[in-house]
Structure 1
Amino acid sequence: MSIRQQPRRIARELTLLSLSQLKNNPDKLDQEDINSLLLAATRTLTTEVHEILETASAEVNRGHERLLSSETRSPSLDSAKTMIREALELAQTAINRLASAVDFPEMMQLASQYEVRQYAIELIGTVQRRGAEIDQTLERAMVDWQLKRLPRIDRDILRMALAEMMFLEIPQKVAINEAVELAKRYSDDEGYRFINGVLRRVSNQLAESPGR
């Protein structure tokens, strides 16, 4: 994260990392201390890193056991290689999350800025208050997929983007581009491409809707 980033970009990242941890009434979000947002963000990253590393460890163990029992059977060897490759990919994801955590001292400094704090609170409140409308719009735009089946981080990126597109008067192109950048940082290649596709379908649907 660059210290020269726009306040709203910092606020989006803070919002993304905080959403799953905040349970407050959206009408009381203006009272939310910025330290609570940072604590929520830290807990999100910590929890996710632990879960990813546990899954990676389990895959390595499964792959190792498969190798030991496979002898020379080609299907078993291929299966073991796949498990280990997936474990390495998960470990790389965890490393990326840890790299994000390294940026936290800078985020803490920037989050104290009035513009950052206010936009994060506005964005979180909009996602929470208009959640039903946002999710309905997303469901209509998803092809052969369900919102609840997506990873939590991908769902929150999509919800934030729709909050901006539908209710916060952010240009749709800007909202989509910012969502894709967040997905590149916190999701994976498949995730950010999926998010980009869904948001572009939403944009087309909104353009065809009366009154928009």
Structure 2
Amino acid sequence: MFNLIVLATTNTHKIREIKRVLEKFPVVLKSLSDFPTLPEAIEDGDTFDENAYKKAFHYAKVLGLPTIADDSGLEVYALGGKPGVHSARYSGEEATDLDNCRKLLRELNGIQDRKARFVCVFSIAVPSGPALTYEASCEGKILDHLQGEEGFGYDPLFFYEPIKKTFAELSLDEKNEVSHRGKVLVELASEFPKVLKWIENRMKEELPQQPDHSEFMNNDWSR
């Protein structure tokens, strides 16, 4: 079985969430941090689906390895779906999470309708191009102040009505049960044996000469 898969992110929060859900499977998960000096993917798509695939295929092709990438973000209905695919860089290319949250609060100042949703799309690609796609969303509303210390991104502003807390007030396990990314991961985990078989079959069709990543082939699946 082909058991090395790359997570196309350096975001430690995302890596931790994904590894937590997939840790029971016989697979080695490495992130982009394990492969320095790679050319960056160009995420210029108009949708989360497009960007997730662009990123997954880019790194799969560069590394010669199956790659999981996600694109996710916040859509605020009163803002016409903004920040959307620009969620991570809403207030600029070098924006911090706090910068983005503050800009969102400014944009929503005086607006009563604060309904919003988080969207997440996962794309699993192999070097030749084919990919699997998983998508989920989570409905909530945007508070007028930051609340909570956990999570990342817009979590301190995103209030989840069923449990009366923001995502930043939830533990990782609690968040994974209800969040957009958690929903995708639950679905992915339920089908992961099939996904691994799909990857194995696709990788057999790849060119025989692939980059040597044997140094990463180990059984420490928690790293």
Scaled to the shorter chain, the TM-score interval is under 0.3
TM score, norm. by length of structure 1:
0.24
Instruction: Choose 1 or 2 for highest CA Rg.
Output: 1
Q: Normalization by structure 2: what TM-score? A: 0.23
Structure with higher strand content: 2
